[in-house]
Structure 1
Amino acid sequence: MPDPVRSAAVHADAAVPDGLLDAFWRYEDALMADDVPTLDALFAEGPWTLRGDAGGLLVGHDAIAAFRRGRGGAPQRQVVAVHVRVLDATTAAVVAVVEPRTGGRGQQTQVWRLGPAGWQVLVAHVAAPAPAVDGRVWREVGTPLVAGAGSGPLAGRRVAVKDLFAVAGRPIGAGVPAYLAAARTEPATAPAVQVLLDAGADLTGIARTDEFAYSIAGANPHYGTPPNARVPGGLPGGSSNGPASAVALGQADVGLGTDTGGSIRVPASYQGLWGLRTTHGRVPRDGLLPLAPRFDTVGWLTRDREVLAACSRVSAIGAPAVAAPERFAIAPRALEALEAPVREAFLRWTRSLEVEETDLGDLVAAQEAFRVVQAAEAWASYGAWLTAHPGAVSGAVADRFLAASRIDAAEAARARADLEAHRARLERAVDGVILLLPAAASVAPQTTADPTTVDRVRTATLRLTCVAGIIGAPSLAAPLLEIGGAPLGVALVGPRDSDDALVHRAAAFPAA
């Protein structure tokens, strides 16, 4: 009786080499069983083995093995046809047509080579049926969801709105299913959304965020982690993760997000995008669900600088415009704690500029004051709701809210006083210059990174990003660096209301 799993028709242009189909079916069986050791053994060792899919290209056996360990198995499917093209006695291309249990058809293409360890895969590409909507990226989507004015400086641009902004007729979900379930239908659209519609852009949809936007990693345990379009298997960066991934994947041209501690700049850095945290209060925050109002700002993520400049211009009509300083400065002490590849890549890039040096003082203490004030405000925003809905958030976000619940009024008051002292010192340190910093403390960590590693990266990143937050200054993340093929942004911090000038000045910067 034929094996129903291996009953797919085989089409070959020549006699199939001995053992090839057996190796192919061992691979398929291991894939369906999530037998990672067998899968690893069937892929050729070395740095040149390739595996690609819509999420990107993995280069090298070790990178592919790490991806397998973290994905938790492949979707169940049935092979319906196998096409073999024999290239020579030891090399063959195999294309399998597959039907996932969820419907549709896909393909898996592999180049196999016969060596001392038997038949092994050299190159693999997986093409799955495209989902109508990727629920990791989008909460709600349309064609468009809301049409814009049709003409204007943003005509034809597609906008992904972070799930914190009011869109008339729809609720705000804030990345938390229990919150979405009880949320009211919004009576009006937030001004920060409406101004883009009035400028001609269409609202494609409402995009995901981390739980209550209290993270810069980009993972959401309820809806899944949006893909990083530049780093296969990498975290997308948060909390504006959905808008960032939508833009990086080409599903939107503008990601409308928020930045409290780095939530625009970090995903921009991780995914090779332009991202602007605006001057605090420059863009109206009406219709925006808060996290920590002392630091919350509106901003945008784009693939190119010109679209970002247009978003800034149309969104801050009537706001003052300040020229950006002509001088640039770096803060060597702020770089000392960074890992060597990040520090060296950044300093190598700055050698193409004329830069001064400045001292930002004790950033560890500044970050701690920032953390306490942010936490106190976050608990003021959501503490009552979270107390009434235990278990609604989880993981690192739940831990942060728990810590926030323990901050008493006296501790919060001390932190606010400390914060003012740090603000005054930082303003003096960057007076008359544009401060240059890495936009994040690392390239995107893998989604499989252990929580301790993710938290360490978060702490090191916030030490850089809190500078603009404490001052209330604009900060532009520009996609100018790469480390091992992964993007790393350069952050420009300028005087308050120099937003447009910062974006303009960045046009002259060299990319690494």
Structure 2
Amino acid sequence: MAERIPPTSVTGELPDGLIDAFWAYENALLTNDLEALDAAFAPGNATLRGDAGGLLVGHDRISSFRGARGGAPVRTITSIHVRVLSHEYALIVSENEPRSGGRGLVTQLWARHADAAGWVVESAQVAGAPAAMNTAIWRVLGNPLVAPTTSDGGALDGETVAVKDLFDVRGFAVGAGIPEYLSEAMPADANAPALAALLAAGASVRGIAQTDEFAYSIAGKNVHYGTPPNGAVPGAIPGGSSSGPASAVATGHASIALATDTAGSIRVPASYQGLWGLRTTHGAVDSAGLLPLAPSFDTVGWLTRSAPVLRAAAASTLDAESQQPVDAQFVISTELLFAADPAMQGALVDAVGRLEAAGLVGEVGVVDLGDTSGFFDAFRTVQGAEAWRQHGEWITSHPGVLASDVASRFETASTITDDAESSAREVLAAARTQLDEALAGRILLLPSTASTAPSLTADPGEIDAARAATLALTCFAGIGGYPALSVPLLEVEGAPAGLCLVGPRGSDLALIDLASTFIP
């Protein structure tokens, strides 16, 4: 039971039952009594709960968040200040000391509800003790961790980088989202070229950010370090495998995420968290000093909160001579559009209509990509074969280390035969030619993901279904080796989503320039 103390101060006549309701709530927190906590918050869609992670609106969303967090930190109430507003409303501000140290503050608007049989919370703002470092986002943090290598400023002067834990950072080992892998890895002798380019342009490294295990996921969950917060949708998954760097940017910890995209690992978190994210043309950025997953599809790229910063990062890294202008003709594929859920389909159609009306994309045509039914399976086969070739030996010698979903993918990958891989590569070679001919240099518009970010409490089957539907969209850029830019232009019921531009190889900078006109 929470140790009760009397109110430190009261303004107005203290209503009957209010303080008892307050302490009942504190006891429910202490025991993680979800039923009692649900009853303590007002029913309906107007109830509010906010903290450093964002604002939750509605009793059901608050309840879902509470069920996913696994209990609140143990705390001791040190003061209670009550301001009685009327017979039906009162404001309570309480101070607390978490067992872990520091001080916290909770502000609650209590209301007397007849249908709730007493006092309930209509609005709550929680300010916990400030964390020195969110270990779900960061593996290593500095101020800075690595300084710029230029003293004359540069295009990225003042920008800070969250480095995905797959890149070499001089003096640090690569952990790939797995503590056991990190414990056996050796510190890097030099920075990866992709990181060196950013440092040479004036950026500094804020820290090394978490990734999904071996980057073989697009959910953003990590059983070892926890799930990074979604900086745009509290209580939702952040998207992976560039989850840590994306969350660092979305929450304002860094301005640039240096990340990778094999099958959507930049575009998915960009879509889920309302960020700009670029998967570069395959091979356009030096991948030395990068722990591979599937080299035939692995690319380096960035996530940012704005187009100018993204362009500066890309221009500082890409070879200017390899970049080419693009004919600004846009097309959509009804086949790919229908792979997204209905709400996302509607959001994309609405967005394209607005862009057409504003004269920003001209008249968007419809492209027939031909028979693409075997593309995804072939992509998945080659990706799996390469992933097992890269990590299979380590996984075999470390049984039980990986999360069940990642382990299952690697187990399937281990069964791919040489003949199956060879056949899949033939399918992909033909698919690449087919896509080149169908698109003919035009820019393909499609949703970056098949849906908005699923809830942290979503059934694993629901998350897996969202993953499969999204990969059916994201794999096309990997098959063609195309650059793909996720632009935070869509919205579904208040949640962000990305409009993806897939352009010809070498049109990376041109895509950013075009899309920069979409958002004022």
Whole-angstrom CA distance in 2 between matches of 1:28 and 1:363: 56
Tell me the equivalent position of 2:446: 437
Query: Does structure 1 conserve the Cα–Cα contact (< 8 Å) formed by 2:284 and 2:319?
Result: no
- The unaligned stretches of length 5 or more in structure 1 are none
Asked if residue 179 in structure 1 is aligned to residue 210 in structure 2, the reply is no
Tell me the equivalent position of 1:255: 257
The Cα of 1:41 is off from its aligned counterpart by 0.9
Tell me the equivalent position of 1:425: 434
The Cα of 1:287 is off from its aligned counterpart by 0.3
Q: TM-score, normalised by structure 2?
A: 0.96
Query: Does structure 2 conserve the Cα–Cα contact (< 8 Å) formed by 1:334 and 1:360?
Result: no
Deviating above 3 A after TM superposition, structure 1's stretches of 4 or more consecutive aligned residues are 361-364
- Give the 3 Å change call, closer, same or farther, for CA 464–92 of structure 1 in structure 2: same
Cα distance per residue 1:446-494 (max 9 Å; x no partner): 1111111111001110111111100001000000011111100000000
Tell me the equivalent position of 1:129: 129
- Give the 3 Å change call, closer, same or farther, for CA 224–362 of structure 1 in structure 2: farther
| Equivalent of residue 30 in structure 1, options 28, 31, 43 | 28
Whole-angstrom CA distance in 2 between matches of 1:472 and 1:15: 70
Tell me the equivalent position of 1:279: 281
Tell me the equivalent position of 2:266: 264
Whole-angstrom CA distance in 1 between matches of 2:488 and 2:425: 33
Query: Does structure 1 conserve the Cα–Cα contact (< 8 Å) formed by 2:161 and 2:254?
Result: yes
**Matched residue type, 1:420:** A
| Equivalent of residue 352 in structure 2, options 350, 353, 361 | 350
Asked if residue 200 in structure 1 is aligned to residue 209 in structure 2, the reply is no
Cα distance per residue 1:255-279 (max 9 Å; x no partner): 0000000000000000000000000
Whole-angstrom CA distance in 2 between matches of 1:294 and 1:351: 36
Whole-angstrom CA distance in 2 between matches of 1:432 and 1:470: 15
- Give the 3 Å change call, closer, same or farther, for CA 316–4 of structure 1 in structure 2: closer
Task: Find the residue that maps to 2:168 and give its secondary structure.
Answer: coil
Whole-angstrom CA distance in 2 between matches of 1:364 and 1:22: 62
Task: Find the residue that maps to 2:322 and give its secondary structure.
Answer: coil
Tell me the equivalent position of 1:507: 516
Whole-angstrom CA distance in 1 between matches of 2:493 and 2:519: 18
Whole-angstrom CA distance in 1 between matches of 2:450 and 2:492: 12
| Equivalent of residue 492 in structure 1, options 489, 501, 505 | 501
Task: Find the residue that maps to 1:6 and give its secondary structure.
Answer: coil
Tell me the equivalent position of 2:360: none
Task: Find the residue that maps to 1:269 and give its secondary structure.
Answer: helix
- The unaligned stretches of length 5 or more in structure 2 are 357-362
Asked if residue 234 in structure 1 is aligned to residue 236 in structure 2, the reply is yes
Summarize the alignment of residues 74-473 of structure 1 with structure 2, pairs less than 5 Å apart. Answer: 74-116=72-114, 117-148=117-148, 149-150=150-151, 151-352=153-354, 353=356, 354-473=363-482
The Cα of 1:338 is off from its aligned counterpart by 2.2
Which is further off, 322-331 or 354-363?
Answer: 354-363
- Give the 3 Å change call, closer, same or farther, for CA 177–364 of structure 1 in structure 2: farther
**Matched residue type, 1:133:** M
Whole-angstrom CA distance in 2 between matches of 1:279 and 1:269: 19
Q: How many residues align?
A: 509
Whole-angstrom CA distance in 2 between matches of 1:392 and 1:38: 37
Whole-angstrom CA distance in 2 between matches of 1:302 and 1:342: 22
The Cα of 1:253 is off from its aligned counterpart by 0.4
| Equivalent of residue 7 in structure 1, options 5, 8, 25 | 5
Asked if residue 64 in structure 1 is aligned to residue 66 in structure 2, the reply is no
**Matched residue type, 1:226:** P
Query: Does structure 2 conserve the Cα–Cα contact (< 8 Å) formed by 1:423 and 1:471?
Result: yes
Whole-angstrom CA distance in 1 between matches of 2:263 and 2:326: 22
- Give the 3 Å change call, closer, same or farther, for CA 5–205 of structure 1 in structure 2: same
Whole-angstrom CA distance in 2 between matches of 1:159 and 1:362: 41
The Cα of 1:364 is off from its aligned counterpart by 4.0
Cα distance per residue 1:247-302 (max 9 Å; x no partner): 00100000000000000000000000000000001010000000000000000000
Which is further off, 8-17 or 53-62?
Answer: 8-17
Cα distance per residue 1:190-223 (max 9 Å; x no partner): 0000110010001111000000000001000000
Query: Does structure 1 conserve the Cα–Cα contact (< 8 Å) formed by 2:2 and 2:23?
Result: no
Tell me the equivalent position of 1:52: 50
Whole-angstrom CA distance in 1 between matches of 2:315 and 2:73: 45
**Matched residue type, 1:272:** G
**Matched residue type, 1:378:** A
The Cα of 1:430 is off from its aligned counterpart by 1.3
Q: TM-score, normalised by structure 1?
A: 0.98
**Matched residue type, 1:465:** T
Cα distance per residue 1:155-203 (max 9 Å; x no partner): 0000000000001111000001110000011111100001100100011
Query: Does structure 2 conserve the Cα–Cα contact (< 8 Å) formed by 1:210 and 1:240?
Result: yes
The Cα of 1:90 is off from its aligned counterpart by 1.0
